[in-house]
Structure 1
Amino acid sequence: MTLLLDKILASIVQITLFSLIPFIWWYFSGKKQEKFTHWIGLKKITGNKKRIILAIITLSILFMILGAIILLSLKNIKMATSVFKGLGLSALPAILVYAVFNTAFPEELIFRGFILKRISNKFGFTYGNCVQAILFALLHGVMFIPLVGIIKSLLIVIFTGLIAYSMGYVNEKIAHGSIIPSWIIHSLSNIFSGICAAYMLI
C-alpha cells in the first residue's frame, strides 16, 4: 500500500512539474486560440481507426521488445522499476500508476505534446519530431553511460529515439495531433517493464 501511495504522490508531482512550462507557454501565447487540453494534444483521436489501432499495436510490441533488450543489458543495474522487484501480483496497482501516470503521461505531455507541437509550428513537423525524439532518447540513455558504458548507452539512445520519432509520427500524421496513441504505447511498455521486474522475468 505504501508503494502505491508513493507512486500516486510521485505522479501528482511529476504531472504538475511537467505541465507547468507548457501551461505558462499556452497561457501567454495560445489561450485565445484553443483550450489547453487541445493545445497540448489531449484530445479525441480522429482519423483512420484501423490504421491507428495497427500503429498502436505494432509500436507497443516493438517498444516491449526494445524494453526487454534494455532490461537484459541492464540486468544488475538499479532502475525505476527495481522497486517492484520480486513483489509479484501485489505490485500491480503501483505498476499501473507508475506506468500510466508517473512516467508515460508526463513524458508524453512534455515531449509529444509540448516540444514536438511547438517546434513543428515554427519549423515544420520533420524538424520538430527529430528534436523531440533526440531529447527523449538522450533523457533515457545518457544517464546509463557511467553504469554500462558509451556503446550500450548509445544503443539505448538510438532505439528509444526511433521509437519516440515513430510515436510522434503516429500522433501527428495518423491520429491528427492527439497524444493519446503515444500515451497508450508508452504506458503498455512501462507496464511490461514493471511486470518483468515484479515477477523477475528478466
Structure 2
Amino acid sequence: MMNSLISAILQVMLFSVIPFIWWLCTARKKQPFLTWIGLQKPIVLRKGRYAMYIVLSIFALFVPSFALIFFYIDRSLLAANQFVGLGATAVIPALFYAIIQTGLSEELLFRGFLLKRLIKTFGFQVGNVVQSFVFGCVHGAMLWSVLPLQVILFVVLTTALAGYVMGWVNERIAGGSIIASWSIHSIVNFIAACLYMFKF
C-alpha cells in the first residue's frame, strides 16, 4: 500500500515539473500556482446541471473505452491489470492509482497546464481540440509497439474524445476548475480497477 502511495505521489510530482517551471517563469507574480493550473473549487451556478454533466461524462467515457478494451485490447497491457484478482484487498491501492497517480497527474498536465495555455493563445475550441488530440496520442504511443495500427487509432480517438469532454466540462460547466475532470477521470479509472480486482 505504501509503495502505491509513493508511486502515485512521484508521478504527480513528475507531471507537475514542466507546469511549475512554466508558472515560475511566466505567471508567478500574477496568480498562485494552484489557481493558475485550475486546482480550485469549481464555480457552479446550477448544481443539478453540474451533477448531470459529471454523470453523463462518466458514462460517455466509460462505454467507448471499455468497448475498445473488451473487443480490441489485451487487458494485460493496461495499467489496471496490476489489480487483477486481488479483490477488496486492492481497494486502497486502486484509489491511490485512480485518484492520485492517473487522475490528478494527468489532469494537472493536460487540462490544468496544456489546455489553459492553449486557450489563452488560440481560444477554447482550438485549445480543447489540440489538448485532447495530444492526450489521445500520448495514450496511443504507450501501446504503439504492441497493438496494430487500426487499434492504436481507436485508442487515440477514444482517449481524445475523453480529453475533449473533460476539457469542455471544466471550462464550460465548472468555471475553469480541473476538479470536475479530476473527479470524472478518477471515477472511470477506479471502476476499471474494480473490474480487474473482481475479475468482471
TM range (shorter): over 0.9
Indicate the larger mover: 74-83 or 147-156: 74-83
1:25 and 1:143 mapped to 2: Cα distance?
25
2-structure distance, mates of 1:21, 1:164 = 19
Please tell me the residue identity of whatever aligns with 1:50: G
Letter paired with 1:104: G
Looking at structure 1, the residues matched to 27 and 101 of structure 2 have their Cα atoms a distance apart, in angstroms, of 26
Partners of 1:120 and 1:128 within 8 A in 2: yes
Q: Which residue number in structure 2 is paired with residue 17 of structure 1?
A: 14
Per-residue CA deviations over 1:108-152 (Å, capped at 9, x if unaligned) read 000000000011111111111111101110111233233221111
Q: State the partner residue of 1:99.
A: 98
Per the alignment, residue 183 of structure 2 pairs with 184
Deviation at 1:175, TM superposition (A): 0.8
Retained in 1: the 8 A contact 2:83–2:197?
yes
Task: Check conservation: 1:108, 1:179, Cα contact below 8 A.
Answer: yes
* Separation in structure 2 between the aligned mates of residue 186 and residue 116 of structure 1, nearest angstrom: 16
Q: Which residue identity lines up with residue 32 of structure 1 in the other structure?
A: K
Alignment partner of 1:64 out of 37, 62, 65:
62
User: RMSD of the alignment, in Å?
Assistant: 1.3
Q: Describe the superposition over 1:65-122 as per-residue Cα deviations: whole angstroms up to 9, x where unpaired.
A: 2332133132353221111110011111110010000111000000000000011111
Distance 1:13 1:40 in 2: 18
Segments of 5+ residues of structure 2 without an aligned counterpart are none
Letter in 2 for 1:63: L
Moved more, 63-72 or 112-121: 63-72
Give the TM-score normalised by the residue count of structure 2: 0.94
AA aligned to 1:193 is A
| Structure 1 portions without partners, runs of 5+ | none
Is the Cα contact below 8 Å between 1:67 and 1:189 reproduced in 2?
Answer: no
- 1:166 is aligned to 2:165: yes
Give yes or no for the alignment of 1:26 onto 2:39.
no
Identical aligned residues as a percent: 37
CA distance in 2 between partners of 1:110 and 1:76 (Å): 26
Map 1:19-58 onto structure 2 (within 5 A): 19-47=16-44, 48-58=46-56
Q: Which residues of 2 match residues 139-154 of structure 1 at below 5 A?
A: 139-154=138-153
Residue identity opposite 1:53 in structure 2: A
Choose 141-150 or 153-162, whichever is displaced more.
141-150
CA distance in 1, matches of 2:180, 2:189: 14
- Give the 3-state SS of the residue equivalent to 1:145 in structure 2: coil
Q: Secondary structure at the match of 2:143?
A: helix
Q: Which moved more, 1:167-176 or 1:64-73?
A: 64-73
Query: Is the CA contact (8 Å cut-off) linking 1:67 and 1:193 kept in structure 2?
Result: no
Matched residue SS, 2:41: coil
Q: Does structure 1 retain, via aligned residues, the 8 Å contact 2:75–2:81? A: no
Q: Indicate if the aligned counterparts of 1:77 and 1:147 stay in contact, CA closer than 8 A.
A: no
CA distance in structure 2 between the aligned counterparts of 1:122 and 1:138, rounded to whole angstroms: 21
CA contact (8 A) 2:83 2:193 kept: yes
SS in 2 for 1:147: coil
How many Å separate the matches in 1 of 2:162 and 2:121? 23
